[in-house]
Chain A
């Protein structure tokens, strides 16, 4: 961790809200993109990632400033997104019984850097994957985590990481092929 960030986090632990600003700004892009992939929809991404920063602030006294901030924050964000997915699933059940349509189908790659046709198509395909597949693609390719780190974060064996990631990539290829045809 950069020394500067460690100093800022120490100030945060002492209750200095202004020191939290640079931390939030440093990770805002990554956090929003991560939330977008975890939730499978860009509309809620900003709100969910902000909620996770608020939770991080409230629990900052439990954070060990010798460790990097982002993995700790990322675990909080993952839980915020999972709660929202659970709530959304409950709402969707109600909506379907009432004959409403799910409105969260917009998958515009607004959080993606250096866009081109191929990357946009890939993003759309990733967004069409199931939540566990999106999550493992995010961890491997956007967060550059090893199988061991993914296994620890998700609480699953390395063999499961291997098979889930491979299944996710296969599903992605099929979706891409389907879009291309």
Chain B
């Protein structure tokens, strides 16, 4: 084993992730190379220091504040859904009524009627297309698959 191979395997050796044969070859090299021995000792110290690091547990007050933040977002989420559904229904009803009135009104020119109908049809096509795209992305998205695990 060369010093380059040694360097490549040093982290895995310290983490106990080398196969038996690799480990034996690694230790053989270690016994004969002082430079690699020093290198490994430094890396070991760093690894041990990293292993000692832990995340702080927040105090009760902080935890309560944190949970309130999450809870408020959950509530607002329902609010946004209801608002969106309400807005879509109202807009759809309004658009339907406007078109109905417009078609019945003989004073409005045919060109304007066709223009408004094309505008609304275009919006519907775009909305459906975006919705379909979102659903397809959701199906193949790595995030969604991880959520389902």
Contact = CB atoms under 8 A, between A and B. Distances in A.
Interface of A: 17, 20-21, 24-25, 28-30, 32-34, 46, 50-51, 53-55, 57-59, 62, 64, 67, 72, 75-76, 79, 110-114, 118-119, 122-123, 137, 140-142, 146-147, 155, 162-163, 165-166, 169, 172-173, 176
A29 B58 contact: yes
A142 to B, nearest CB: 7
A166 B11 contact: yes
Contact of A123 (B8, B42, B53, B69): B53
Nearest to A110: B56
Task: Pick from A28, A46, A111, A165 the residue with the most CB of B within 10 Å.
Answer: A28
Contact of B56 (A29, A54, A162): A29
Contact of B142 (A137, A155, A162, A163): A155
Contacts of A30: 55
Interface string B1-26: 00000011111100101000000000
B79 interface: no
A80 B70 CA distance: 15
A-B interface, 7 closest residue pairs, ranked by CB to CB distance from nearest: A33-B55, A166-B11, A75-B146, A141-B50, A79-B143, A113-B56, A113-B54
A173 B46 contact: yes
Query: Which applies to chain A's interface (DSSP): helix, strand, loop or mixed?
Result: helix
A165 B11 contact: yes
B33 interface: no
A113 B70 contact: no
Contact of B146 (A58, A76, A165): A76
Contacts of A25: 63, 66-67
B17 A53 contact: no
B131 interface: no
B127 interface: no
A156 B146 CA distance: 15
Interface of B: 7-12, 15, 17, 42-43, 46-47, 49-58, 63, 66-67, 69-71, 73-74, 77, 142-143, 146-149
28 contacts: A20-B70, A21-B71, A25-B66, A32-B66, A33-B55, A33-B56, A46-B69, A50-B73, A53-B70, A59-B147, A72-B149, A75-B143, A75-B146, A76-B143, A79-B142, A113-B54, A114-B52, A118-B49, A119-B53, A122-B50, A140-B50, A141-B53, A142-B53, A146-B17, A162-B12, A166-B12, A172-B46, A173-B43
A163 B55 contact: no
A122 B49 contact: yes
B58 A75 contact: no
A62 B148 contact: yes
Given A79-B146, A163-B8, A54 B55 contact: no
A53 B68 CA distance: 12
Contacts of A169: 11, 43, 46-47, 50
B41 to A, nearest CB: 12
B55 A112 contact: yes
Question: In the complex, which of the residues B7, B66, B142 has the most CB atoms of chain A within 10 Å of its own CB atom?
Answer: B66
